Amino acid sequence: MKKNEDPRLAATRNMALDAALDILLEEGVLAVTFASVSKATGISRSTLYRHWPEIDRLRNNAFRHAATPSDVAPKTNGPLRADLTWVLGILINALNETPWGQIAPQLIAAAATDKEARTLINDFMEQRISFVEDVFAAAEARGELSPEAPVRDLVEMFIAVPYFRKFIAGAPLDQQWLDSHVEMICRMADEDRSPS
């Protein structure tokens, strides 16, 4: 809630976002309309228009509502393998067990044609990339990475492959896969390191 914001306005906005999220999950992005949110909540369309002058803004705020980042700080006490396993466990849980796993493909599709959705997913991913970069920076400070390790590429691979695996390949994200993905990333981070 914004400072000095009327709590009734915040409550109305949150009720509308919760309803939009429910509609997204049950019926898809195109089913989120002013009429459907109004029907689900009893909030008048004119009130919804005051909060979101365009339907895409309401949809994108619902995406953001589903993908609100956690307040968890990255685990960086090492070793790299343990820290990456912990981070990937959080991502896999989000993709398998939370609304984000159902909504992410819709947001990705919307981002192909909608500038606001593109900005939303770019901001969302930059937050996740920064989180994982902190893990790699701590590993580098501990001397766990090869000097030639392509850290940004490894970070992107670490994050992107689970999305590809779940949404494109339709393959499971389970503990066995998590362990093998982390092992591959760790090998690539260390593969060019010359023996001491």
pLDDT at 3: 61
pLDDT at 150: 94
**For 30, which DSSP code?**
G
147 and 58 part of one domain? no
- Domain of 181, in residue numbers: 80-190
Domain-located, residue 2 = no
**Least confident segment among 11-20, 28-37, 184-193:** 184-193
99 and 165 part of one domain? yes
Amino acid occupying residue 3: K
186 and 98 part of one domain? yes
- Average pLDDT along the chain: 88
Long-range contacts of 159-168 (CB under 8 A, 24+ apart): 159/91, 159/125, 159/128, 159/129, 159/132, 162/88, 162/91, 162/92, 162/95, 163/95, 163/104, 163/108, 166/95, 166/96, 166/101, 167/104, 167/105, 167/108
Q: Give yes or no for a cis peptide into 79 (omega within 30° of 0).
A: yes
54 and 91 part of one domain? no
Q: Which of 66, 88, 110 is the last residue of a domain?
A: 66
10 Å Cβ neighbour count for 156?
A: 14
Domain-located, residue 74 = no
d(CA 24, CA 27): 6
Q: Which of 94, 185, 177 minimizes the C-alpha distance to 139?
A: 185
pLDDT digits (tens, 9 = 90+) for 84-116: 999 999 999 989 988 888 888 988 888 899 887
95 and 138 part of one domain? yes
- Give the CATH number, domain containing residue 58: 1.10.10
Q: Which of 41, 66, 91 is the last residue of a domain?
A: 66
157 and 62 part of one domain? no
The CA R_g of the chain, rounded to the nearest whole Å, is 20
58 and 118 part of one domain? no
pLDDT digits (tens, 9 = 90+) for 116-171: 788 888 888 888 899 899 999 999 999 999 999 999 999 999 999 999 999 999 99
